[in-house]
Structure 1
Amino acid sequence: MDFFTSLLNAYEKAEEIGLVDQRMGDNEPVLLPIYHNNKIIKKTDFFINIFLDNNGCFYKAERIEEGANIIFPITFESSNRTSTKIAPHPITDSWYYVMYSELRQDKQHVYLENLNNWITQTKSSNVKRFLEFIYNFVRAPKSVELVLKSAFGQDCQIFQEFNDEENKFHSAEIVYGENKKTIVLSKVNLTFTIMNYDGFKNISVSNFKELHNDHLKVIKQINTENIGICNISGKEDRIISLHRSIGGPFGKAKLISKSDGNKFAYQGDRFSTNKDDVDIIKIGYETSEKIHLMIKYLLENKNSSTWLGSSQYLINWFSDDLVNNSQLDIVKPVFDDLFEDDEDEEDTQVLIRPSEENREIGSSFIKGKKLFGSDATYYIAVLNKTSNGRIALKYFRSLQVSQLLKNLEAWQENYSWEIWTKAGNYKLKTPIINDIISVAYGVDRERYLEVDNDRFKSDQYQQLVTALIDGKSIPGTVVKKLEDNIRQRQKYSKRWKQVQQVSLGILHKQNGEEFSSMLDHTNQNRSYLFGRLLAIYELTEHLRYKLEGSDSGRITNAERYWTAYTGQPTKIMMLLENKIQPYAETLKLNRPGSWNKLSKEKEEIMELLNPLLETKSMEESLDYRFFFGYYAEKKFYYTKQNMEVAESEE
């Protein structure tokens, strides 16, 4: 199923279940009815709500607070108007359309004419009365003064600039308040609320569903031009050549935009007009509205939208869980609250195998209760704003939920590694995509690993998300970067544990091999053995520092020579061997149990390495396997059993 048809079906499914025009909360996103728009009020917006009583008389006017979601009817013409085209929204609009002004009398004239036409066409007495209250108020000579004094204060004034050459007013602004603040009149928008209109309820343009439904009927009555068959819905509709912008994070950019001609074609990842009769599709007005409003809602719903950096967003939904109440999040698996951010528990950690519950998909990618069925369909798309006017569809997939879960389970199985939790045990953790990108390409800025190129980061997001959804492996370029980065420990003075956690999770299944956190005494791979040896050097020095209480923050020689060691292991091994001798002697005298365990491990490692010392391969750089030998050796030392033996021998 293609992208547009999937969105159309999703909207029509939402109509069936009553999701359209359903408010979950004052500031929650709403799936708008067609031929409507909304405005999330920002701090810089000046949106005024005019309150009329249940007789239509003025009560008050006040500025709408930041975060409020204002819904209002629109028309095809008003949603595509330009600065030179007069096309008012039916009720809620800017000052020049709604209120009388000498500057733009022509705008209010059309506004009132359209409003009167609606009043005469509606068959709903409830809607008619609501509209008449508004119509009569804005026509009243004193309405301007009433709104100004109430909203801006008694001392506010309008200053208009008169152009003598053109013999007309050129601009106007409101001056108000003790500090003489100013606001350009054209930036002020107005909407309406009738108090106690329905019993004791205040009914506004935003929440009056009967008004919204009536507007739909009026639009359908006047949509009689350019009628044809919509290629997406297969229904008769008004075929349009201009489509609404999505809004939200994309502003006025459009998914379907017009260039030359008046026919539509799909061109790669962009939808636009084209002169050539190739892959031409005709899109109806109602279909276009449903498609764009569904995208808008998915973008505004925090459960179904994820920012991927730059101007790129991911949207996803289920055929039977449109709102994604299950909160499936493929970009950021859960468990983050279970872990210490800067855990340093090595001396007290006990060996507990990762919980089996972590192998279930519901414990990682799904934050809430699983509300979608296994026979449902999952949809995912990545949209990218390529310019101020254009949006590109970068990726789209639809697949059965059963296949999605298999792909997510495979990803979790292949790319998870244990981590120590606040509860005092180990659990598997699947690295979030942002961490994978940051560890592969980021710079350690102490608080965070930061990727400076936002567009590059956005592209990496897309690659990883598509690999996960399509059931593919992480791109080889990312794997190679991680392999390179674990050699350069000195580059990560603050975020090394993050680098370690992600790298272990991604690299532990490569080239047909699988490494675990358990020490493999039978592994004779030279890189693995050199990694174990490096851990012995580090532990020896670290334990020596701990004897004098100065271990915190001190860099061991193993850490200092880390990069050189991975490049010339034999040479640096000899250097480290000499450097740790004083530490080993002190440890032998003061913590014989620990020294004895480390010595036995070192003897085993050297016995396995000795046959290879004379071969040319010993001079080669270490590969990523050294990291698993290093990790496993350190964990082996810090298991409960080893700690008890070590302490008993002291």
Structure 2
Amino acid sequence: MSWMAKLYETYEAGLLLTDLPDDKRLMPTSHTLQNAHINIAIDGEGNFKRASVLEKTQIVLPATERSASRSSGEAPHPLADKLQYVAQDYAAYGGLKKPYFDGYKKLLSSWCLSEFSHPKATAVLRYIEKGTVIKDLIDQKVVFIGDDGLLLTSWVNATDDSNPTPTLFKVLPKEKGLLDQGSALVCWTVEIDSNPNADTWKDRTLQDSWIAFDNSEDSEAGLCFVTGKVQSLSINHPAKIRHSGDKAKLISSNDTSGYTYRGRFLDNKEACGVGFDVSQKAHNALRWLVSRQGYRNGDQAFVSWAVSGKDIPEPLQDAFHLFSNFNFDDLDDSEPHRLNEDTVIDRSRDIGESFAHQLNKYMAGYRAKLDPNEQIVIIGLDAATPGRMGIIYYRELLGSEFLQRLEHWHKSFAWPQRHTIDVPSLSGKKPTKKVVWPVSSPAPKDIASAAYGQRLSDELKKSVVERLMPCIIDGNPFPIDLMDSCVRMATNRNGYKSDEQWLWEKNLGIACAVYRGYFQRHPIKTQRRDYTMALDENNHSRDYLYGRLLAVADRIEEVALSVGGESRSTTAARLMQRFADRPFSTWRNIELALQPYMQRLQNSRAGFLVNQKKELDAINANFKTEDFVSEKKLSGEFLLGFHCQRQKLREKTESTNETINEVSSAGSEE
């Protein structure tokens, strides 16, 4: 129950965040979140004034413990509810579902007759007792009946411009092609002259009135496992944690007829006892956190927070996006500044130094705000079935420990990554897209795509993110199968279409990042290595050197094709996969294929060709003969050499203001 205790504490701390707008604040207890479809306005005496259809409107409405978690059967909300509850004449107009007006009226009457009554609730009671809700809505052309006088379940000739589909028919869900207008949820506006806040779902006094009444109702007391105190226990725990339509629960209702506790406990109270107030506040806090700062991956959700309510870094974002909203203006002139689109990077030194300074500044900003002993919680949620939700990941950390581990992740897996940014146009036109290569760690969702392709299933993507959380938060080694998959995908350059070369470049950067990070955290300490992000001309590893050779060959042919006005893949690009499997024999083929292109460059780009030949000679000179002639398969290290050499050659082109129509950059990033 540690997670519930932390959420309960978070709720209490969140109540102190009074500077938040109303729609961003914590939801009060004894309330639930739901989509409203119809708004009915009445006066203080319960007289009908008007009605309208609401589109995509979520409201916080009063609810009982049972109604907040209802899935079927009768369980009325006390104020705002569906037409089948609030309309006495629903059955008379042929409603498809069973009417529950009597139960709704009984609950609302109990509230209005208690010492906690509210004038707006009393006005609603007076109105619904007249039994004309459906009739009034028909007169207002909000709901519709057919020639037989019964509520319509579909709209005929919906494509006819002279007979447009009513708004209510657009917002209500359909079942087997039919809809039930009785499932439209009604919220109330009570216009009283002395009260400027007419909308009941925004009235704090009405919310407090219902909470007081709900808490006064007799409920069974018992030991709360969270607080250790005897108090009113929760029977039905809230749902709607990830969104308003979420039916999955973290704590299911106690089952006295199934096999929930048989053979383990004497009765259902011994299985789990959570106080009503604790359950309401803990679930409301979790719902608030997920909607405010949660990471959503389909039905999977991760959220991290400080119990005190202070801001913390998002662990599932890459460094590039973390830095984008951070103010670096206070950096000293003597310190390296962050990389931007105008920065020319010198790859003759390790650009990781600049990134490390930038990351240190970023983390220092949070260390100044967070106490070292600040309580940080990370929780992951997923639903195996529509009604059952599980906690797939949970950690509690100190603030200093959390920042240290997050910083270690970003440093270990840092590598130049391909991103596009919007560059404002001086002429006032639409911004143009510019490709930049800032040093950054990749995001887990991008690692999943780089390992298994853009069309990977949601289940596989969720599995990857779940496996990476211990690497980010706990500092665990990176999974070797994920690293191998990323390397294979980046090596298979020929598997990308001509308009997907941007995607290959992106996956290449990710593969280099995870390969570097894997060896920084290798399970066997003696095999750990720290690769630099700059071109390392002192690295005489066979795989690294072969990667450099491939990059130079690719660049020579790329420039030659541009000079000849041709646009197609280079030999190095087409044979990259084969090169990784059989480097020596494939290199001979690539080298022979380069000869005609070198002849072409001899006349138009002689200086460029001389420099590239010198580079090839320098790389070849560093090989050991037995390594060079070996057909042993290359490891992912060859991608590091390839990428570093490739980036250095690109910068030389940019520094000399040469314009090359690069085949590899073809296509538009989505």
Match of 1:57 in 2: 47
Are 1:95 and 2:99 matched, yes or no? no
Are 1:456 and 2:460 matched, yes or no? yes
% identical aligned pairs = 20
Contact 2:451 2:489 in 1 (8 A): yes
Q: Distance in 1 between matches of 2:356 and 2:214?
A: 53
Post-superposition shift, 1:248?
Answer: 4.3
Match of 1:541 among 547, 557, 571: 557
Contact 1:561 1:572 in 2 (8 A): yes
Match of 1:191 in 2: 187
Match of 2:38 in 1: 48
User: CA-to-partner distance for each residue in 1:87-144, whole Å, 9 max, x for gaps?
Assistant: 3221111223222127399733333332222222225xxx532222112111125554
Match of 1:412 among 410, 413, 422: 410
Q: Distance in 2 between matches of 1:78 and 1:639?
A: 64
Superposed, which structure 2 residues align to 1:489-500 within 5 Å? 489-493=493-497, 494=500, 495-500=503-508
Cα distance change of structure 1 residues 577 and 60 upon mapping to structure 2, 3 Å threshold: same
Paired amino acid for 1:135: L
Match of 1:428 among 424, 439, 452: 439
Contact 2:318 2:440 in 1 (8 A): no
Q: Distance in 2 between matches of 1:158 and 1:430?
A: 64
Post-superposition shift, 1:555?
Answer: 1.4
> Matched residue of 2:189: which SS?
strand
* Ranges in structure 1 where 5+ consecutive residues have no aligned partner: 42-46, 162-170, 265-271, 339-345, 443-448
Match of 2:289 among 294, 298, 308: 298
Q: Distance in 1 between matches of 2:283 and 2:200?
A: 22
Match of 1:478 among 461, 473, 482: 482
Match of 1:319 in 2: 307
Post-superposition shift, 1:172?
Answer: 8.2
Q: Distance in 1 between matches of 2:369 and 2:115?
A: 41
Match of 2:316 among 327, 330, 333: 330
Q: Distance in 2 between matches of 1:619 and 1:507?
A: 22
Q: Distance in 1 between matches of 2:621 and 2:165?
A: 86
Match of 1:501 in 2: 509
Q: Distance in 2 between matches of 1:173 and 1:636?
A: 66
Match of 1:556 in 2: 570
Cα distance change of structure 1 residues 216 and 532 upon mapping to structure 2, 3 Å threshold: same
Match of 1:130 among 120, 124, 128: 120
Contact 2:82 2:183 in 1 (8 A): yes
Match of 2:592 among 578, 585, 600: 578
Are 1:36 and 2:35 matched, yes or no? no
Cα distance change of structure 1 residues 235 and 219 upon mapping to structure 2, 3 Å threshold: farther
Match of 1:399 among 397, 400, 418: 397
> Matched residue of 1:277: which SS?
coil
Cα distance change of structure 1 residues 419 and 296 upon mapping to structure 2, 3 Å threshold: closer
Superposed, which structure 2 residues align to 1:308-387 within 5 Å? 308-309=297-298, 311-321=299-309, 324=311, 328=314, 330-335=316-321, 351=346, 353=351, 356=354, 359-361=357-359, 372-387=370-385
Worse-matched range after superposition: 188-197 or 386-395: 188-197
Paired amino acid for 2:511: S
Q: Distance in 2 between matches of 1:506 and 1:614?
A: 26
User: CA-to-partner distance for each residue in 1:529-584, whole Å, 9 max, x for gaps?
Assistant: 2222222322222222232232xx32111112212222222212222222212222
Q: Distance in 2 between matches of 1:371 and 1:645?
A: 45
Post-superposition shift, 1:419?
Answer: 4.7
Cα distance change of structure 1 residues 57 and 371 upon mapping to structure 2, 3 Å threshold: farther
Match of 2:620 in 1: 606
Contact 1:156 1:174 in 2 (8 A): no
Are 1:75 and 2:64 matched, yes or no? yes
TM-score (norm 2): 0.78
Post-superposition shift, 1:394?
Answer: 0.7
Match of 1:276 in 2: 264
Match of 1:203 in 2: 198
Q: Distance in 1 between matches of 2:633 and 2:51?
A: 75
Contact 1:54 1:194 in 2 (8 A): yes
Cα distance change of structure 1 residues 554 and 121 upon mapping to structure 2, 3 Å threshold: same
Cα distance change of structure 1 residues 215 and 367 upon mapping to structure 2, 3 Å threshold: farther
Post-superposition shift, 1:320?
Answer: 2.0
Q: Distance in 2 between matches of 1:392 and 1:158?
A: 50
TM-score (norm 1): 0.80
> Matched residue of 1:60: which SS?
strand
Q: Distance in 2 between matches of 1:580 and 1:175?
A: 68
Q: Distance in 1 between matches of 2:306 and 2:290?
A: 15
Greater share of residues in strand: 1
Contact 2:556 2:598 in 1 (8 A): yes
* Ranges in structure 2 where 5+ consecutive residues have no aligned partner: 93-97, 157-161, 170-178, 325-340, 424-433, 520-526, 660-670
Number of positions where the alignment pairs a residue of Structure 1 with one of Structure 2: 590
Are 1:226 and 2:220 matched, yes or no? yes
Q: Distance in 1 between matches of 2:238 and 2:368?
A: 34
Match of 1:469 among 459, 469, 473: 473
Post-superposition shift, 1:458?
Answer: 0.5
Are 1:251 and 2:246 matched, yes or no? yes
> Matched residue of 2:100: which SS?
helix
Match of 1:118 among 111, 117, 121: 111
Post-superposition shift, 1:179?
Answer: 6.2
> Matched residue of 1:203: which SS?
coil
Q: Distance in 2 between matches of 1:479 and 1:81?
A: 45
Post-superposition shift, 1:158?
Answer: 9.1
Cα distance change of structure 1 residues 122 and 599 upon mapping to structure 2, 3 Å threshold: same
Q: Distance in 2 between matches of 1:179 and 1:590?
A: 67
Match of 1:625 among 637, 644, 647: 637
Match of 1:342 in 2: none
Q: Distance in 1 between matches of 2:258 and 2:235?
A: 7
Q: Distance in 2 between matches of 1:255 and 1:218?
A: 26
Q: Distance in 2 between matches of 1:308 and 1:102?
A: 40
Q: Distance in 2 between matches of 1:532 and 1:574?
A: 15
Match of 2:231 in 1: 237
Q: Distance in 2 between matches of 1:420 and 1:542?
A: 19
